[in-house]
Chain A
Amino acid sequence: MNKKILSAPYLLWSVVFIIIPLLMVFYYGLTDKSGAFTLENILAIATVEHSKALWLAIKLSIESTIICLILAYPLSMILSKLNVNQHSFIVFIFILPMWMNFLLRTLAWQTLLEKTGVINSILKTLGLPGINIINTSGAIILGMVYNFLPFMVLPIYNSLSKIDKNVINAARDLGANGFQTFLKIMLPLSTPGIISGITMVFVPALTTFVISTLLGGSKILLIGNVIEQEFTQTGNWHLGSGLSIVLMIFIIVNMLITAITDKDGEGTML
């Protein structure tokens, strides 16, 4: 069995369904309707409407990435100290919600967050002030954190549980206190997981149009909403592709950071 021949079907598939489609985005983004070369579609990002949508998307996605990291790191530390046999069970707990449709799960937050919704009723019975974040950017951040938290937890958990216990014990024996051990041992060794987690959360948060549609009312437009509208409503694929190229710059920077810091694929999800 010549193994070189075996690579043909997959290479062919990747070229047709990964490389060529991306080149098509660049082709459409860099041409106008007559097919002539233009930078107009890309420069359109500078218009007030588009740049506002881009900045808001960047702001919300950075905020939700930070919240995910703050929530996920201690959680992963606690989980990684549990019994090793429970590895698949932990992955299972975080993957399981995906079996409930993601649109419905996100919509359910409306029911939970509404003025007279579940959370406010509970807060009221406890005598606490209610929260009123539905249809604001706060609700969008919550939706992002909710949807993408597993993508932060799993890589960090994986890199933490791979750390040799003896290394930590050695550090303690040599006189490092808990905080020093964390700073000098745990943190550096789990960096691949952190970087991978940041990428896995930041990219989908930056580019989402669904969460903003479902939880932000129709008033809040993110760059993803603008691109989606260009493709499905306005029908201006050239402009939509041009704006996507701008988005891709962020994604490519992200991919490069991952590739440089995570050479051995240590920060993988599984």
Chain B
Amino acid sequence: MRNALKKLYITLILIFLYAPIVTLIVLSFNKSKTRAKWGGFTGKWYISLFKNDDIMAALGNTLLIAFVSSLVATVIGIIACIAIQAMKKRSRSIVIGITNIPMLNADIVTGISLMLLFITLGIRFGFLTILLAHISFNIPYVILSVLPRFKALNPSTYEAALDLGASPFKAFMKVVFPDILPGVLSGFLMAFTMSLDDFIITHFTKGAGIDTLSTKIYSEVKKGIKPEMYALSSIIFISVLVLLFLVNYMPKENKKEIK
């Protein structure tokens, strides 16, 4: 009885979380252009999607910004973790405090603060400003997931590598990096997800001529979302789902070898 109630509760929450997603996938097959009405089944939005230059450009921008910003954030984040780890307790807590600001601060404040910065510096609003903004809100996610790995590290192995004649860079890559890799990967993935899903900060830091998927959708809200958008989101969602399932259910033997 108790177990059945527990299962029911989890199921209800999952329905709550996934109902909108199912709705969007259903809408992507809707023949009618409005989302209020079911007009019969069609796959045509999945074809016309690829002929829509605006959506394709927005998709390109979104993926490029997500990839480059998480990559740069990962590199800066790892370097920051090495530095933070070597700091004394007081300066460490100050730096971590500053790191947490973009995560705890409201997106709207982060967005307008960066907007004011770019205006003052005279940087033209466009791809570069979005990229810089995304890198800065991505770094905390990388640090958050990499730093615990550094804390768990045994410093003697790195020192042993140095004693055995490895250069600091080589010692880091051969000894430290494999140990922090899981943290690096999850940090990168987290940053990528955050960047992909961001609307608010992009809204304030983008110029007139450029759109990511989020800002494009927002501009379409009043006149009605194009059904191609539903199709594209469904494709993205399903591919991620499949990809993550493959990673999770990779044969166990392989996993051990990688470890």
Most chain A beta-carbon contacts within 10 A, residue among B144, B200, B204: B200
Contact status B23-A112, CB under 8 Å: yes
A21 partner residues in chain B, CB cutoff 8 A: 110, 113-114, 116-117
Question: CB of A55 within 8 A of chain B?
Answer: no
Contact status A10-B76, CB under 8 Å: yes
Contact status A270-B6, CB under 8 Å: no
Give chain B nearest CB distance to A178 CB in angstroms: 11
Contact status B144-A270, CB under 8 Å: yes
Give chain A nearest CB distance to B112 CB in angstroms: 6
Give chain A nearest CB distance to B11 CB in angstroms: 11
The residue on A at minimum CB distance from B117 is: A21
Chain A residues numbered 20-45 whose CB sits less than 8 Å from any CB in chain B: 20-22, 24-25, 28
The residue on A at minimum CB distance from B168 is: A1
A78 partner residues in chain B, CB cutoff 8 A: 6, 9-10
Question: CB of A157 within 8 A of chain B?
Answer: no
The count of residues in chain A whose C-beta lies closer than 8 Å to any C-beta of chain B is: 84
Question: CB of A19 within 8 A of chain B?
Answer: yes
Given contacts A74-B9, A89-B248, contact A11 B95 (CB under 8 A): yes
Question: CB of A62 within 8 A of chain B?
Answer: no
Chain B residues numbered 83-135 whose CB sits less than 8 Å from any CB in chain A: 83-87, 95, 97-102, 104-110, 112-117, 120, 132, 135
**Chain A: interface secondary structure?**
helix
Given contacts A99-B237, A104-B225, A116-B36, contact A251 B116 (CB under 8 A): no
Give chain B nearest CB distance to A191 CB in angstroms: 18
For chain B, give the interface size range: 35 or more
Given contacts A13-B139, A97-B21, contact A251 B236 (CB under 8 A): no
What CA separation (Å) do A118 and B37 show in the bound complex?
10
Give chain A nearest CB distance to B21 CB in angstroms: 5
Contact status B197-A102, CB under 8 Å: yes
Contact status B116-A247, CB under 8 Å: no
Question: CB of A63 within 8 A of chain B?
Answer: no
Chain A residues numbered 203-241 whose CB sits less than 8 Å from any CB in chain B: 203-204, 206-210, 213-214, 224, 227-228, 231-232, 237, 240-241
A13 partner residues in chain B, CB cutoff 8 A: 76, 136, 139
A170 partner residues in chain B, CB cutoff 8 A: none
Question: CB of B244 within 8 A of chain A?
Answer: yes
B21 partner residues in chain A, CB cutoff 8 A: 97, 100, 105, 108
What CA separation (Å) do A125 and B181 show in the bound complex?
53
Question: CB of B217 within 8 A of chain A?
Answer: yes
Contact status A24-B117, CB under 8 Å: yes
B65 partner residues in chain A, CB cutoff 8 A: none
Question: CB of A3 within 8 A of chain B?
Answer: yes
Contact status B237-A22, CB under 8 Å: no
Interface hit among A46-54, A161-169, A180-188, A252-260:
A252-260
Contact status A204-B106, CB under 8 Å: yes
Contact status B199-A199, CB under 8 Å: no
What CA separation (Å) do A92 and B132 show in the bound complex?
27
Chain B residues numbered 229-257 whose CB sits less than 8 Å from any CB in chain A: 229-230, 233, 236-237, 240-241, 244, 248
Give chain B nearest CB distance to A225 CB in angstroms: 10
What CA separation (Å) do A118 and B35 show in the bound complex?
11
What CA separation (Å) do A269 and B237 show in the bound complex?
22
Q: Can you pick out 20 interface pairs between chain A and chain B where the beta carbons lie within 8 Å of each other?
A: A3-B82, A7-B84, A7-B86, A14-B95, A21-B113, A24-B120, A79-B10, A89-B248, A92-B244, A94-B17, A100-B20, A100-B237, A102-B199, A149-B16, A210-B199, A224-B106, A232-B204, A241-B112, A244-B109, A244-B112
| Known pairs A104-B229, A231-B204, A241-B112 / 5 extra A-B pairs, C-beta < 8 Å | A7-B80, A10-B95, A14-B99, A28-B116, A259-B97
User: Which residue numbers of B lie inside 8 Å of A, CB to CB?
Assistant: 6, 9-10, 13-14, 16-21, 23-24, 27, 35-36, 76-77, 79-80, 82-87, 95, 97-102, 104-110, 112-117, 120, 132, 135-136, 139, 144-145, 168-169, 172, 186, 190, 193-194, 196-197, 199-200, 203-204, 213-214, 217-218, 221, 225, 229-230, 233, 236-237, 240-241, 244, 248
